[in-house]
Amino acid sequence: MASNAARAHASAGRQNPAVPRPLPQSVVDRGHRYGIAQRVQCLTLQVEGFLWKDIEAKTDVKQSAQSAIKKRAFQRGFRPEQDPRILEHYVEDGARSGRPKEITSEIEQRLLDSNSADRSGREKSSEVLAYECGISRSSALRILYKHSLSSVKPTRKPGLNLHQRAARLAFCLAHQSWTLEDWKRVIWSDETSVILGQRRGTVRLWRRSGEAYEKTCIRQRWKGFSEFMFLACFS
């Protein structure tokens, strides 16, 4: 009999589940809560002299919460004998400062400066950056991602001496007025290299999307005896 009654009670609970009260988007859910309308109704009934039991039956506001609502309203200037109107300011939640930030703006800037200072700074891992600033790795990653920094391969460019740089600049200046038809008569070439005893992609650094050609993000590539070049052309 007892088990049948328990099953019937559970079945009734499933058929008629408790409907939670709606929570405004700007209100943080901290467990048991009361809406503005409930608080206004509760305060009105208290001013009218209703007992706390009757108020709880009508508004579902507990006795302790009733006292807190009334106390807060009077602290904020509610005087029913002078003005019976209840302003929203009397019953709304007070501003909360929240948990103080453990990572200050100075720590955040120090991490960014350490990353962008030079070549070795760009290649520092999130663990190293976190250790230098005295924060956790997850906090360091959060700062890096916040400032749009990503861990990518460095930009590879051939090393050029002064003579080669001057020759390239002269070529660009001599052809800056060429049209599309002029460039169609050019055979384009590209090349790739295979280096013996070296694995590509092992070096990574932190940079933003527009910093690919920053000096600290470029690694020069010099030809050696262990490197094979493959050339291809198209027109």
Residue spans per domain, the chain: 13-91, 105-234
Residues paired with residue 220 on neighbouring β-strands, in sequence order: 157
Percent pLDDT > 90 in the chain is: 31
pLDDT number for residue 176: 95
Residue 16 pLDDT greater than 50, yes or no: no
Using alpha carbons, select from 65, 63, 143 the residue that is nearest to residue 102. 143
What pTM, to 2 d.p., does this model score? 0.41
pLDDT confidence bin for 29, thresholds 50/70/90: low
CA dihedral over 88, 90, 91, 94, signed as positive or negative: positive
Residue 215 pLDDT greater than 80, yes or no: yes
Asked if 69 and 93 count as a contact pair (C-beta separation under 8 A), the reply is: no
Q: Which range is most confident: 17-31, 53-67, 205-219?
A: 53-67
Asked if 62 and 56 count as a contact pair (C-beta separation under 8 A), the reply is: yes
Query: CA-CA distance, 79 to 92, in Å (whole number)?
Result: 17
Comparison of pLDDT for 158 and 26, the residue scoring more: 158
Beta strands in the chain (DSSP E): 150-152, 155-158, 188-195, 205-207, 218-221, 227-234
What is the number of residues in the chain? 235
Residue 128 pLDDT greater than 80, yes or no: yes
Residues 6+ apart with CB under 8 A from 85: none
Using alpha carbons, select from 171, 166, 185, 24 the residue that is nearest to residue 93. 24
Q: Which range is most confident: 54-63, 154-163, 189-198?
A: 54-63
Query: CA-CA distance, 221 to 195, in Å (whole number)?
Result: 11
pLDDT digits (tens, 9 = 90+) for 34-47: 888 889 999 999 99
pLDDT number for residue 203: 79
Comparison of pLDDT for 143 and 1, the residue scoring more: 143
Q: How many Cα atoms occupy the beta-carbon half-sphere of 229 within 13 Å? A: 11
pLDDT digits (tens, 9 = 90+) for 135-178: 999 999 999 999 999 888 888 787 888 999 999 999 999 999 99
